[in-house]
Structure 1
Amino acid sequence: MGFINFVLAISPIAFVLVGILAFKKPAMKVAPLALVWTMLLAFTYFNISGLTFQENVVVLDGLLWKGIKEGLKIVAMVFGAFVILNTLKRTGAIEDVKNTVARVSGQDRRVQLIVVGMMVPIFLEGAAGAGAPAAIAAPFLVALGFDPITAIAVALLGDATPCSWGGAGLTTINGGAALVEAGISTNALNSAMVGRIHMFGVLIIPFLMVALAFGRKGFRGIVPYLFYSGITSGAIMFLISNFVGPEITSMGTGLLSILLSVVYVKFVPIKTPEEYRYQFHKDARQQYSAFRAMSPYIYMLIMLPAVRYLVPMFVENGFALLCTFGYIVWVDVVIFICAILGALTLRVKKDELFEVFRMTARNVMPVLITMGSLLVLAYIMQAESTGMMSLIAGDIAALAGTLYPAAAVLIGSLGSFITGTGLGSNIMFAGMHTEAAATLGMNPITVFAGQNAGASLGNLICPNNTVAACATVGEVGNENKVMRKTLVAFAVILVEYMVLAMLYTLVLFPNFGM
């Protein structure tokens, strides 16, 4: 029965993956069917609370409306990001955006890929989080001329490490609260240990991005820069997470990495093969100044961290105010305001802007069906009335034994795969890991670090995030193409993190913070 319970509990996840990857069906068709199957399980096999049919309807009805509400919040962010991309296309400012980035980051398209695909998302995760990094970076990469599917996969990969801290360190601070409240750890210790894992993830991500976007031949002449960007970004992430604190780890790492990358390309020649050199159009006339062309993104880079940090600083209960309608809502509002300000700066006429709104709305509305279905599915699996997610994690933990630190990484990834957030995964499983570590005589701080790192990594393949990112560049229905790319990178980093979790817990830091 135990095996059957596990198989049925994990079947909604399998349904989504098989439908998207094996049958190559768009998520908009797979998600509602997976939800129907999950609801059937909730009414029958996993009605562990013994609820009557009417009581179950009440529970699931509440989860259904919660999924629709949260789905609307995500769609709102996608809408704002897509409005910016469509505005740049309509005005022709995209060409000036490309030229501006090429002048700042060098003419090597692979350098542009790393700066915009990895460093900008790390900064944006610290400035806002809530899915903003991929939703902004993917359209930006498309504006630079990258294939949309590749752009989405790279943007998701760039956000695979900083999610452990999220906006102002919330993922580690709130997610690790169970350890802090029990007197087992502190926010500083939790941040320090997960930083020691992620610094090795950041080290290899530039190589994974180039392989993903250009294949093996893409490494010609760029390997020294890839080592430089990986080592410097990893070192900065280590230093800030270990000696400053979780609040500014992501934002500080992203910002300093961008600056150091600009310094490198200015002073170290890169032997760029012609096929990877950004080509300026000889006959093209600069239509907009660099500031005007880049204005929507410049406004976001300023306003997102400004609102996030200044409102709590100068307004009483400021953070609670930002979270009044849910954390993601203020991010939605800021991105939309930046889209409007960008349109004004580019002097887009009112009629043209309304046409951009109409075109964007047509493109993103189908996302609500997908996002709502996936979110409700996740809420049902997490619900105490079904116990599905707890059963999955418990079975993996029971089977692991000595390999538990590696299992914690996998459980963390599964948690964010379902919930769509590293914070949700950490909150869900931090207590379980603490108890398991005590039973096995292991260090709970290093075990939780594995959970925290895995939770961040799981965002890379989360269907919710993939659908949202696809929507920002008009690729709804092509989620299978994106996931085929991201799954390979996910598997590589997952193995790396499992090995690190085992080494840290059993060999290198068995008494860390004890």
Structure 2
Amino acid sequence: MHAVGGSLAGTALLGLVPLAVFFVLLMVVRRSAFQAALGALVTALLVGVLGMGMPVRLGLLSASQGLLNGLFPIMLIVVAALWFYELTVVSGRFEDLRRCFNAVGRGDLRIQAMLIAFCFGGLLEALAGFGAPVAITAAMLMALGLPKLKSAITVLVANTAPVAFGAMAIPVTTAGNLTGIPPEDIAAVIGRQSPLLALFVPLLLLTLVDGRRGLRQLWPVAVVVGLVFAVAQYWCSAHFAYELTDVVASLAGFAAGVLMLRRWQPRTPDDQRSQVEAERLPARRVTLAVLPYVLVIAIFAVAKIHVGGLDMPDILSVATLKWEWPGLYGEILTPDGKPSTSAVYSLEVLANPGTLLIISGILVTLVYSLVKDRDQYPMSAALSVRTAGRTLVTLRGAIATVATVLMLSYVMNQSGQTVAIGTWLAAAGGAFAFLSPILGWLGTAVTGSDTSANALFATLQQTAGHQAGIDPTLLVGANSSGGVVGKLVSPQNLTIAATAVEEPGSERVLLRKVAKYSLAMLLVLCVLVYLQSTAVLSWMLP
């Protein structure tokens, strides 16, 4: 492993070169994420071949395996999730769901802003991700009467706690695919970290919207929403379907807020009343607006059933594609000389979240096509197919970027670069647990994607954990949790927020406003993960 003069430090620094190229191209040269990933991929191949002694053929084969993993299952899930969300938009039902959110809060702008930014934004993060929650909820807050920059800051801060489980928990699935750690185990660890943020984010949002007055007058409803969201996020991540964590948590938090407001009357100053009049929708329209989310929860629940002799995961796993990567398997060896399982490609065809989302979308299309008011809410199989095509076109840049990042990850992992870096960093010993979330924060802050951050650093965290004697699952989970608060300062997210509130060029102002919250939450996570790695809070882990 010590490819550079027998020195671990030298080998690790050489392995860091592709990551340095990626960050320099992205932040200094200001190239697109795809171009930066492509440049880093070429660099990783050169380092692997010239520095680590990897044959060119194996390097290219590693890249090809990463490409297929990036497309299936990772981007399949993302495309299916966004298509599912777009079906609610093109049918007009999404507008009814938005009205449901606008109608709550008894006309109090601060409560509506909190529920829309946190709960509705969390739901959008669960289904769409990739900046959609920030863009949509920022525009909604402006329509309610919240000032432009305040709207942007509010939704940026709100788009933290749900990020690790965004787009049907694709960051978790990605980390599991790369490390071989069951994604359910990673999700359970994250479910013991990110809910801590969820407890306090609603209170912070009230402060952002109306300062101390908003916090003093409305803290009870914020506590209820945050507590229910956090408990649901913890429960779903470990005991239900981790892919649905944000869906369940967002709907539960919203429902808790609505029930709270039926029994508790907020004091609303005149300057904090919403500019949008509440609209009472017929029960039928509310039911049809919520139906897609009920369906997707039901389908994922059925796929996880273990009752008596009925074991749906086992039944669905029958349709699993698995093969040893031709020309690569047997050439990549573990330290004990056995063929590495990293060179085995596996795809669950039926149990894959992407497949379950496609089934859900087909059912939504069928139901919406059969209802009688199609003149007002049009839906047909043809419209559904056209929407799928548009979704593919919309995501073509993201597909290329994520696939290239996965190619980079596979080349670095299978050439030994990641192992060298992780082993070197593990010299920090137990202190590495404190530093672990920072890697995830950095990866997401730069790339704008918790998925990309896990693709870059999940295997590195796993290696460092093994070498330092720290639970690797804890560190891989910490990587994703750290990425949660890195999203807050991501240039991509800042640009989306600035554009959504019609203030292009205000990214620096937004960064100055939100950076302190990002760093404060990162510090909390660093301390939490460190304590979880010791006897002090190890009881929190599954």
In the superposition, the TM-score normalised over structure 2's length comes to: 0.66
Q: Give 1:366 shift.
A: 4.4
Unmatched 5+ stretches in structure 1: 24-28, 181-185, 439-443
Partner of 1:441: none
Contact 2:157 2:205 in 1 (8 A): yes
The reply to whether residue 494 of structure 1 matches residue 531 of structure 2 is no
| Aligned match for 1:260, one of 237, 251, 256 | 256
| Aligned match for 1:435, one of 466, 482, 491 | 466
How far, CA to CA, are the matches of 2:207 and 2:410 in structure 1? 36
Contact 2:109 2:274 in 1 (8 A): yes
Contact 2:419 2:463 in 1 (8 A): no
Contact 2:189 2:474 in 1 (8 A): yes
Unmatched 5+ stretches in structure 2: 1-9, 321-347
Given the superposition, is the C-alpha separation of residues 512 and 33 from structure 1 closer, same or farther in structure 2, using an over 3 Å criterion?
Answer: closer
Letter in 2 for 1:301: Y
Within 5 Å, give how 1:266-415 maps onto structure 2: 266-281=262-277, 289-292=282-285, 295-296=288-289, 298-313=290-305, 315=312, 317-320=314-317, 323-324=348-349, 326-335=352-361, 337-338=363-364, 341-342=367-368, 345=371, 346-348=373-375, 365-383=393-411, 384-398=413-427, 400-413=428-441
Contact 1:116 1:137 in 2 (8 A): no
Q: Give 1:79 shift.
A: 3.3
SS in 1 for 2:395: helix
Partner of 1:156: 159
The reply to whether residue 18 of structure 1 matches residue 27 of structure 2 is yes
Q: Give 1:360 shift.
A: 8.4
Given the superposition, is the C-alpha separation of residues 98 and 196 from structure 1 closer, same or farther in structure 2, using an over 3 Å criterion?
Answer: closer
Letter in 1 for 2:400: G
Given the superposition, is the C-alpha separation of residues 67 and 490 from structure 1 closer, same or farther in structure 2, using an over 3 Å criterion?
Answer: same
Given the superposition, is the C-alpha separation of residues 350 and 449 from structure 1 closer, same or farther in structure 2, using an over 3 Å criterion?
Answer: closer
Deviation digits for residues 299-355 of structure 1, max 9, x if unmatched? 222111111111343647344359306433322442464366446645147988767
Deviation digits for residues 235-261 of structure 1, max 9, x if unmatched? 6666x489x846579476555433432
Higher helix share: 1
Partner of 2:323: none
Given the superposition, is the C-alpha separation of residues 15 and 422 from structure 1 closer, same or farther in structure 2, using an over 3 Å criterion?
Answer: closer
Given the superposition, is the C-alpha separation of residues 369 and 497 from structure 1 closer, same or farther in structure 2, using an over 3 Å criterion?
Answer: same
| Aligned match for 1:44, one of 24, 35, 46 | 46
Deviation digits for residues 426-479 of structure 1, max 9, x if unmatched? 9735743542443xxxxx45x74354244134156569x9989999xx97xx99
Aligned-pair identity (%): 14
Contact 1:220 1:273 in 2 (8 A): no
SS in 1 for 2:159: helix
Within 5 Å, give how 1:196-275 maps onto structure 2: 196-210=192-206, 219=215, 221-234=217-230, 240=235, 245=239, 250=245, 253-254=249-250, 256-275=252-271
Contact 2:22 2:40 in 1 (8 A): no
How far, CA to CA, are the matches of 2:258 and 2:419 in structure 1? 46
Q: Which stretch shows the higher mean deviation, 268-277 or 142-151?
A: 142-151
In the superposition, the TM-score normalised over structure 1's length comes to: 0.69
Q: Give 1:170 shift.
A: 7.8
Q: Give 1:226 shift.
A: 2.7
How far, CA to CA, are the matches of 2:422 and 2:302 in structure 1? 39
How far, CA to CA, are the matches of 1:255 and 1:61 in structure 2? 39
Partner of 1:183: none
Contact 1:35 1:376 in 2 (8 A): yes
How far, CA to CA, are the matches of 2:454 and 2:84 in structure 1? 24
Q: Give 1:292 shift.
A: 2.0
Given the superposition, is the C-alpha separation of residues 500 and 57 from structure 1 closer, same or farther in structure 2, using an over 3 Å criterion?
Answer: closer
How far, CA to CA, are the matches of 1:502 and 1:358 in structure 2? 49
How far, CA to CA, are the matches of 2:180 and 2:487 in structure 1? 24
Letter in 2 for 1:455: S
Partner of 1:5: 14
Letter in 2 for 1:330: L
How far, CA to CA, are the matches of 2:76 and 2:248 in structure 1? 31
SS in 1 for 2:160: helix
Given the superposition, is the C-alpha separation of residues 56 and 428 from structure 1 closer, same or farther in structure 2, using an over 3 Å criterion?
Answer: closer
| Aligned match for 2:477, one of 438, 448, 452 | 452
The reply to whether residue 85 of structure 1 matches residue 89 of structure 2 is yes
How far, CA to CA, are the matches of 1:272 and 1:423 in structure 2? 43
Partner of 2:451: 420
The reply to whether residue 111 of structure 1 matches residue 120 of structure 2 is no
Deviation digits for residues 282-312 of structure 1, max 9, x if unmatched? 9x8x7x635325624x122211111111134
Q: Give 1:72 shift.
A: 5.5
Q: Give 1:81 shift.
A: 1.8
Letter in 2 for 1:377: V
Letter in 2 for 1:11: A
Contact 2:292 2:360 in 1 (8 A): yes
| Aligned match for 1:32, one of 31, 34, 37 | 34
Letter in 2 for 1:278: S
How far, CA to CA, are the matches of 2:356 and 2:491 in structure 1? 21
Q: Which stretch shows the higher mean deviation, 404-413 or 483-492?
A: 483-492
How far, CA to CA, are the matches of 1:350 and 1:268 in structure 2? 35
Q: Give 1:158 shift.
A: 4.0
Deviation digits for residues 133-163 of structure 1, max 9, x if unmatched? 9867965775674779668746632413657
How far, CA to CA, are the matches of 1:333 and 1:468 in structure 2? 31
SS in 2 for 1:271: coil
How far, CA to CA, are the matches of 1:59 and 1:419 in structure 2? 23
Given the superposition, is the C-alpha separation of residues 486 and 305 from structure 1 closer, same or farther in structure 2, using an over 3 Å criterion?
Answer: farther
